[in-house]
Amino acid sequence: MDNINLGSIEKIPLGQGHCFIVENEEIAVFRPRAGGLYAVQNRCPHRNGPLAEGVIDACHVICPYHGHKFDLQTGRGAEKGETVKIYEVKEESGEIILKL
Amino acid sequence: MTRQRLVVIGNGMAGARVVEEILKRAPDLFEIIMFGAEPYGNYNRILLSDVLNGKEKPTDIFINPLSWYKENNITLHAGLRVLKIDRTNKVVVAMPVSRGAKPYDRNSTALPDDSQVSEPYDKVILATGSRPFIPLIEGWGAPGTFAFRTLDDCAQIEEYAKNCKRTAVIGGGLLGLEAARGLLTHGVQVTVIEAGPYLMNAQLDPEGGRLLKSTIEAMGIQVLCNTITTKIGAENNRITQLLFKDESTLETDMVVVSAGIRPMTEVAEDSNLAINKGILCNDQMRTSDHNIFAVGECVEHRGQLYGLVDPIWEQARVLADQITGVNPKSQYTGSKLATKLKVMGVELVSMGETEAKNPDDEIVVYREPKRGIYQKLIIRKNRLAGGILLGDTQAGNVLMQMFREETSLPKKRTELLFGGSNLPSLANAADLPDHAQICNCHGVSKTQIRDAIILQGCTSLNQVGQCTKAGKGCGSCKGLIVQLIQAYHGQVGYDPAEHYYVPGISLEKSQLIAAIKAKNLKSVSHVFQELASGVEDAASKVGLASLLRSIWNEEYQDERDARFINDRVHANIQRDGTFSVVPRIYGGVTSADELIRIGTVAKKYNVPMIKITGGQRIDLLGIKKEDLPHIWKDLGIPSGHAYTKAVRTVKSCVGTDFCRYGLGDSIKLAQEIEHKLQGIESPHKIKMAAAGCPRNCSEAYVKDVGVVAIEGGKWEIYVGGASGGTVRKGDLLATVETHEEVLKLVGRFIQYYREHAKYMERTYSFAERIGIDRLKGILIENEMGICKRLDEEIQKSAAAYVDPWKKESEEPLYPQQFEGPELVHVLQEAINNG
């Protein structure tokens, strides 16, 4: 496991997500208003929608394309058989640290 | 805690259903013991005729196989007939049914002996059902005479028919015709004998009965009405003929009697419970003994006996509520009988009365004898008192609902049978093939929806939608889904969540608005804090943002995370993650300068596609998010709002400017409307048009709001039109003379829609839901005295309008607003160091 510093937490507007391309992987990192940081694969398994552009709450993201919903903690989708890959991510003194 | 002992007498459809209902409510409350006179688990008696005609195997019609009893720890005494309930010692006593005896015969058991079974009880449910009614006929009981009630009857009839050429069915009611249909497939000639003057006299009137007779005769079945059988003639132990009261005869090789049913009450009678025609029950489904309940065909409730499943399912629910104590207020108050049948392939809907009773009863009849169609409605005090739909039952589901709910009827009675603009579509989802796709947006088939209803227990639109996604796209299939729920479940469940404005806050729109105003909540996070204990809900944010904006106008505190991506960046996201840019072109009229600017921008930014839209505008497609603000700046044209739930376009035709037919200046009016109302947010998008004459070139009749010039210098205003997934001509709201009046009324309607429509409810369903008459009352007649306020509110919103492209191209709202994905350069060193 390698720690990657993605830069300042301020890169992600509060309550939104932002897409980082790391080692050819598109990773959506979310910063819920309720606190914490979450990272999942950016592409929705349904039709490739960019999850980073989705609306979130404390622990879910809704894909902007067709409204498919995913749990940010587990990656589990609300639709049968759909999951997204999750990544470990945390905030350290104002920086976003992703484990890859 | 020791479980109470519940003994259920009767293992037919009612008995098993009530046990299912009890297990649903309190799986551990009772130790359940069931007695059934038939040696099987529980089967669907309604499908017996399908077994007889070979369409179903006996095993196909089992509802609960023996394993179900085991899984639910139910002791089943199959093949035992209960003799009585010993109420003093609280014991139910039963005996095996003698070999070869009919389970419904009165003396089907041997004399009491050692094989007697006793089960102590705390509670008893009587679900003894009914037995076939056999009229007094000399010679009944001889070989070749059959009743038609059980699986065993079916097997015996089938076996015997193999050696017959001619069969007679006594009884021209539903059951008799079903038996005749079953026999028809066995290659025998079938005659139906009815004592009364016409077939199915419980469901039809004489004319309907006559029509059904000729339809059935055309299928090769002989029908004799007004014919009473007195004797069955036999020779050498084989039936030869029937003798009738009028001394005529009919040659036949076998006889099946299916002439109605009678409740089996002898267990109740021998246990000294109150009986009349059936076992007497109160509204709690209790008999005269507090610990003994009854359900199904054996019950007499408020003087009424029921033989159809719907009322019996309802009884079972109430009984379960009562016996488990889950809902002591639950009551059965009787059922309004409405049923949909298929008799020998002929469709029939029957409800309530079949004949007029009072002199001022209104009768509506439609006949089409060639196609075997007869429809009759009996209307009393503007409510449906009864109806017959024979041969064509398209209108059946809607009419049955109107009958059950005692809805007041449309003035035009033809709409009842043939549909009207304000009635739900009569297309009958239940008749569609199983593989038919119901939801075209999400590709959900009828089978998937049926499974959700039957297997997953979904009883409301919302639940079906959560389970299958059906109805969650454009929503135009919702009517069909409702029909399927009605067909498979009976009625559409009340799900309060369906009425919430957003799923995460348990308030309807008016309550939510009141709470927001009372607490002065101006941002979405503030609303969650105050009205949802601080718990955010992703699915609710977008709807709340739209609502807050229309309540507070410029006072609204914008939080972009609460908005859909389109509203964060004022452009419509496309399937490849790029965006589309649609500049506003008022009334569809542009200029050379604008076109040059659009062309220049398209070249400069390598726009891959420039497309004329359906809304008379120009769409630049395939734009990168990063380029959006620069393009807006270069264009210098306001946003067309083609990405949001707001006022979008006002199309126009060339009207009086150039057209030879133009009656009104549609271009000017369209531009005035668009200038006044552009970008105003609403529960869903609003597309409008102005037409210079009724030829409707700008399609104003099918817009959310459309105005049409007519001769005499007037404008008609239509609302609630649609030409998307749903196509609907708008309703005429008013006819006015000046542009000012048009602007005022259009604004007033839009403001009323903004205040009262559910989130994502288009004007076409809003106008249908409220009704054009009420809309006229409120918006034209000022019945509620709110017109002035509506006019002021829409004026305020219009005045607060700011072109988002102009504002945010000068300075993004936040630094990352138009940023795309960020490429992270990972240094090998950094990785190694961690």
Rounded distance between C-alpha atoms, residue A88 and residue B149, angstroms: 67
Residue B107 has pLDDT above 80, yes or no: no
Mean per-residue pLDDT for B222-229? 94
B396 vs B606, higher pLDDT: B606
CA distance A65 to chain B (A): 7
Identify whether the C-beta of residue B251 lies closer than 8 Å to the C-beta of residue B166.
yes
Architecture of domain B338-418 in CATH? Answer: 2-Layer Sandwich (3.30)
pLDDT of amino acid B424: 47
Mean per-residue pLDDT for B344-370? 89
Instruction: Name the burial class of residue B582, with classes exposed (0-12), middle (13-18) and buried (19+) by CB atoms within 10 angstroms of its CB.
Output: buried
Does residue A65 sit at the B interface (CB-CB below 8 Å)? yes
Residue B753 has pLDDT above 50, yes or no: yes
Rounded distance between C-alpha atoms, residue B249 and residue B255, angstroms: 14
CA distance B721 to chain A (A): 26
Residue B831 has pLDDT above 70, yes or no: no
Tokens 């059959």, residue located: B146
Selection from B49-63, B143-157, B819-833 with the highest mean pLDDT: B143-157
Identify whether the C-beta of residue B387 lies closer than 8 Å to the C-beta of residue B395.
no
Half-sphere exposure of A68 (CA within 13 A, CB side): 23
Rounded distance between C-alpha atoms, residue B148 and residue B260, angstroms: 10
Architecture of domain B429-490 in CATH? Answer: Orthogonal Bundle (1.10)
Adjacency order of strands within the sheet including B609-612:
B572-573, B579-581, B618-623, B609-612
Please report, in angstroms and rounded to a whole number, the separation of the first and last CA atoms in chain B.
61
Residue A36 tokens read as 């914490």
pLDDT confidence bin for B475, thresholds 50/70/90: confident
How would you classify the pairing of strands B30-36 and B75-78? parallel
How would you classify the pairing of strands B222-224 and B189-193? parallel
B834: chain A residues, CB-CB within 8 Å: 2-3
A21: chain B residues, CB-CB within 8 Å: 821-824
Q: Give the residue among B607, B594, B668 at the shortest CA–CA distance from B638.
A: B594
Query: Given B537, B568, B816, which is nearest A57 (Cβ)?
Result: B537
pLDDT of amino acid B812: 92
CATH of B145-259, one of 3.40.50.300, 2.60.40.10, 3.40.50.360, 3.50.50.60: 3.50.50.60
Query: Given A2, A18, A62, which is nearest B538 (Cβ)?
Result: A62
- Collapse the DSSP code of B712 into the 3-class scheme (helix H, G, I; strand E, B; otherwise coil) and give the result: coil
B440 vs B249, higher pLDDT: B249
Residue B736 tokens read as 């006015």
Query: Given B535, B573, B834, which is nearest A64 (Cβ)?
Result: B573
Among the residue ranges A3-12, B72-81, B496-505, B534-543, the one predicted with the least confidence is B496-505
A69: chain B residues, CB-CB within 8 Å: 538-539
Q: Cβ separation of A5 and B821 shorter than 8 Å?
A: no
B134 vs B428, higher pLDDT: B134
B822: chain A residues, CB-CB within 8 Å: 6, 11, 18-21
Query: Given A6, A50, A55, which is nearest B538 (Cβ)?
Result: A55
Residue B281 tokens read as 């029950």
Rounded distance between C-alpha atoms, residue B460 and residue B149, angstroms: 35
Rounded distance between C-alpha atoms, residue B771 and residue B420, angstroms: 13
pLDDT in tens, B292-314: 999 999 999 999 999 888 889 88
Does residue B563 sit at the A interface (CB-CB below 8 Å)? yes
pLDDT in tens, B667-678: 999 999 999 999
Residue B832 has pLDDT above 60, yes or no: no
pLDDT of amino acid B114: 64
What residue spans define the domains of chain B? Answer: 4-131+263-324, 145-259, 338-418, 429-490, 499-563, 645-799
Residue B430 has pLDDT above 80, yes or no: no
Does residue B565 sit at the A interface (CB-CB below 8 Å)? yes
Instruction: Please name the fold of domain B4-131+263-324.
Output: FAD/NAD(P)-binding domain (3.50.50)
Query: Given B814, B819, B824, which is nearest A4 (Cβ)?
Result: B824
Q: According to the 3-state scheme, what is the secondary structure of B645-695?
A: CEEEEEEECCHHHHCCCCCCCHHHHHHHHHHHHCCCECCCCEEEEEECCCC
CA distance A16 to chain B (A): 5
Please report, in angstroms and rounded to a whole number, the separation of the first and last CA atoms in chain A.
6
Mutate to test the interface with B, among A33, A41, A46, A55 (most CBs of B within 10 A): A55
Does residue A90 sit at the B interface (CB-CB below 8 Å)? no
Residue B3 tokens read as 């479980």
Mean per-residue pLDDT for B155-163? 91
Q: Which residue of A has its CA nearest to B467?
A: A79
pLDDT of amino acid B112: 61
B484 vs B292, higher pLDDT: B292
Rounded distance between C-alpha atoms, residue B644 and residue B443, angstroms: 25
Residue B158 has pLDDT above 60, yes or no: yes
Distances (CA, A) of B308 to B261, B305, B785: 12, 10, 50
Q: Cβ separation of B561 and A55 shorter than 8 Å?
A: yes
pLDDT of amino acid B426: 45
A2: chain B residues, CB-CB within 8 Å: 831-832, 834
- DSSP states along B260-305: -EEE--HHHHHTT--BSSSEEE-TTSB-SSTTEEE-STTEEETTB-
Residue B269 tokens read as 């009678």
Residue B834 has pLDDT above 50, yes or no: no
Q: Give the residue among B159, B156, B196, B160 at the shortest CA–CA distance from B176.
A: B196
Residue B829 has pLDDT above 60, yes or no: no
Rounded distance between C-alpha atoms, residue B86 and residue B97, angstroms: 19
Identify whether the C-beta of residue B461 lies closer than 8 Å to the C-beta of residue B478.
yes
Mean per-residue pLDDT for B33-41? 88
Element (H, E) at A95: strand A95-99
- Collapse the DSSP code of B755 into the 3-class scheme (helix H, G, I; strand E, B; otherwise coil) and give the result: helix
Does residue B535 sit at the A interface (CB-CB below 8 Å)? yes
Rounded distance between C-alpha atoms, residue B685 and residue B646, angstroms: 5
Q: Which residue of A has its CA nearest to B827?
A: A4
Q: Which residue of A has its CA nearest to B568?
A: A53
pLDDT of amino acid B283: 96
pLDDT of amino acid B427: 52
Q: Give the residue among B744, B781, B783, B750 at the shortest CA–CA distance from B767.
A: B750
Distances (CA, A) of A31 to A15, A52, B534, B820: 5, 11, 17, 17
B784 vs B375, higher pLDDT: B375
Overall size of chain A counted in residues: 100
CA distance B723 to chain A (A): 22
Does residue B626 sit at the A interface (CB-CB below 8 Å)? no
pLDDT confidence bin for B335, thresholds 50/70/90: confident
CA distance A41 to chain B (A): 13
Mutate to test the interface with A, among B442, B525, B536 (most CBs of A within 10 A): B536
Mean per-residue pLDDT for B627-650? 96
pLDDT confidence bin for A1, thresholds 50/70/90: low
Q: How would you label B424-437 residue by residue, b for 16+ Cβ within 10 Å and e otherwise?
A: bebebbbebeeeee
**Inter-chain Cβ pairs, chain A and chain B, closer than 8 A:** 87
What residue spans define the domains of chain A? Answer: 3-99
pLDDT confidence bin for B404, thresholds 50/70/90: confident
Mean pLDDT score of chain A: 94
As a CATH number, domain A3-99 is 2.102.10.10
Q: Cβ separation of A57 and B562 shorter than 8 Å?
A: no
B4-131+263-324 matches B145-259 in fold: yes
B560: chain A residues, CB-CB within 8 Å: 13, 16
pLDDT in tens, A49-95: 999 999 999 999 999 999 999 999 999 998 878 999 999 999 999 99
CA distance A72 to chain B (A): 12
pLDDT confidence bin for B425, thresholds 50/70/90: very low
Q: According to the 3-state scheme, what is the secondary structure of B171-224?
A: CCCHHHHHHHHHHHCCCCEEEEECCCCCCCCCCCCHHHHHHHHHHHHCCCCEEE
Q: Cβ separation of B561 and A16 shorter than 8 Å?
A: yes
Residue A53 tokens read as 């552009």
Mean per-residue pLDDT for B63-88? 90
Instruction: Name the burial class of residue B523, with classes exposed (0-12), middle (13-18) and buried (19+) by CB atoms within 10 angstroms of its CB.
Output: middle
Residue B428 has pLDDT above 80, yes or no: no
Residues 6 or more apart whose Cβ sits within 8 Å of residue B143: B237, B238, B239
Give the angle subtended at the CA of B564 by the CAs of B561 and B570, to the nearest 5°. 100
Mean per-residue pLDDT for B355-383? 92
Does residue B539 sit at the A interface (CB-CB below 8 Å)? yes
Q: How would you label A19-34 residue by residue, b for 16+ Cβ within 10 Å and e otherwise?
A: bbebeeeebbbbbbbe
Does residue A43 sit at the B interface (CB-CB below 8 Å)? no
CA distance A94 to chain B (A): 17
Rounded distance between C-alpha atoms, residue B272 and residue B86, angstroms: 10
Query: Given B562, B565, B824, which is nearest A20 (Cβ)?
Result: B824
pLDDT of amino acid B423: 47
Instruction: Please name the fold of domain B645-799.
Output: Sulfite Reductase Hemoprotein; domain 1 (3.30.413)
Give the E-state strand segments of B381-479 in sequence order: 383-390, 437-439, 444-445
Residue B422 has pLDDT above 60, yes or no: no
Does residue B562 sit at the A interface (CB-CB below 8 Å)? yes
Does residue B577 sit at the A interface (CB-CB below 8 Å)? yes
Torsion of CA B698, B704, B708, B713, to 10 degrees: -140
